[in-house]
Amino acid sequence: MTRKKKPRLLLAIETSCDETSAAVVKQDGILSNIILSQDEIHSPYGGVVPELASRQHIKTIDYVVAESLAQAGVSLKEIDLYAVTQGPGLIGSLLVGLAFAKGLAYYFKKPLLGVDHLEAHIEAPFLENERIEFPVLALLVSGGHTSLYFLEKPLSYRLLGKTRDDAAGECLDKVAKFLQLGYPGGPVIERLARGGDSSRFHFSLPRMKTAGYDFSFSGLKTAALKIIRENGLNASHRLLRDFLASFEETVARALLENVHKALEEFHPASLILCGGVARNTRLRTRFSELGAGYGLPSFVPSPRLCTDNAGMVGALAWKKYLAAPVSTTDLDLDAYPR
């Protein structure tokens, strides 16, 4: 009787939005994690153009996968498992990664696992810290999503609340676009806000009537645009720095309000902050301060792992595989936009 070989190497692919990424991941760590950003392509439009994103994924995916294998020092023949982001994201972009992963898994007759992009973001800090204690309260903040999750144990995701309108990253991007500061807006705002007086401008925010953990950022965006108009602010205005610092601080406060509330109700053992906006230093600091106030450790991925990346997809796929091994290539695996 031949014993089945234990899987050792997994290739993960992520194309949910505007990063083309591939990673070779072992059960206990990442061998490579290539991230190719499309920022330059979308920058002239001040936001991601879905059609351009999917076309760019088609152009670059084979190169990105080849580079991930080269950096890991392995060949496709050695890959035992495949994983791919199934959703949520831009449907055209998702389909590129999904078709590519299916093709490889089918040809090499290996299992293929579909992974949820948001759950993968929550996995990112585990790549750098094995000992994150459960239950976990996780705040995911990106260009397309703003959600709060409670995880009683690994792989159990309870969505406590999400944004009812704009995502926090989208709010930053739109205000930056309005001021013609460039794209993506979050990092530009962070750079230009440095040293600004964050108490200079006050944003009057509409209160959400229902209880719960949902977020709303469209009111904050409107309030920001109102202040910009009333004060005649523009990219070279002397109060721009103070305005951006105040705005950034308000975004952080709006995000942390729900975290604070959930801390009181759910009593987690650890806090996680993740997603593209988690690169923001002010938010990282405020988040850790909040945790520290409750004597709780906060885990925030290093900036590179906050960005969409296949490493986190591979790490989650391993956990899913170990919990429920699959042995076939599921060619019916479909992408979901939301």
Helix, coil or strand: residue 298: strand
Question: How many residues of this chain bind ligand AMP (CB under 6 A)?
Answer: 19
- From the list 190, 203, 247, 256, which residue makes contact with ligand AMP (rule: CB under 6 A)? 190
Query: Nearer Cβ to ligand AMP, position 198 or 329?
Result: 198
Smallest gap from Cβ 42 to ligand AMP, in A, equals 11
Smallest gap from Cβ 210 to Mg ion, in A, equals 30
Angle between helices 218-230 and 168-178 (to 10 degrees): 20
280 is a site residue for ligand AMP (CB under 6 A): yes
Query: Nearer Cβ to ligand AMP, position 88 or 187?
Result: 187
* Binding site partner of 277, from Mg ion, ligand AMP, none, Cβ cut-off 5-8 A by kind: ligand AMP
* Binding site partner of 123, from ligand AMP, Mg ion, none, Cβ cut-off 5-8 A by kind: none
Position of minimal CB gap to ligand AMP: 276
Q: Which of 247, 186, 199, 259 is nearest to 220 (CA)?
A: 247
* Burial class for 261, CB neighbours closer than 10 Å (0-12, 13-18, 19+): middle
| Binding residues among 15-74 for ligand AMP as defined by CB under 6 A | 17
Chain residues in the site for Mg ion (CB under 5 A): 17-18, 308
* Binding site partner of 242, from ligand AMP, Mg ion, none, Cβ cut-off 5-8 A by kind: none
Query: Nearer Cβ to ligand AMP, position 169 or 196?
Result: 169
Provide φ and ψ at 325, rounded to 5°: -60, 140
Q: Which of 157, 124, 105, 111 is nearest to 35 (CA)?
A: 124
Rounded CA-CA distance 220/282 in Å is 18
172 is a site residue for ligand AMP (CB under 6 A): yes
* Binding site partner of 190, from Mg ion, ligand AMP, none, Cβ cut-off 5-8 A by kind: ligand AMP
276 is a site residue for ligand AMP (CB under 6 A): yes
Using CA atoms, how far residue 168 sits from 43, 121, 137, in Å, is 19, 16, 18
Decide the pairing of beta strands 81-87 and 112-116: parallel
Token pair 């992520």 is found at 14
| Binding residues among 130-149 for ligand AMP as defined by CB under 6 A | 142-144
Q: Are 276 and 186 in contact (CB under 8 A)?
A: yes
Structure tokens at 144: 């397309």
* Binding site partner of 173, from ligand AMP, Mg ion, none, Cβ cut-off 5-8 A by kind: ligand AMP
Q: Which of 91, 79, 158, 78 is nearest to 118 (CA)?
A: 158
Query: Nearer Cβ to ligand AMP, position 97 or 111?
Result: 97
Rounded CA-CA distance 233/176 in Å is 12
Smallest gap from Cβ 245 to ligand AMP, in A, equals 13
- From the list 186, 196, 268, 311, which residue makes contact with ligand AMP (rule: CB under 6 A)? 186
Residues that bind ligand AMP (CB under 6 A): 17, 142-144, 169, 172-173, 184-187, 190, 275-277, 279-280, 307-308
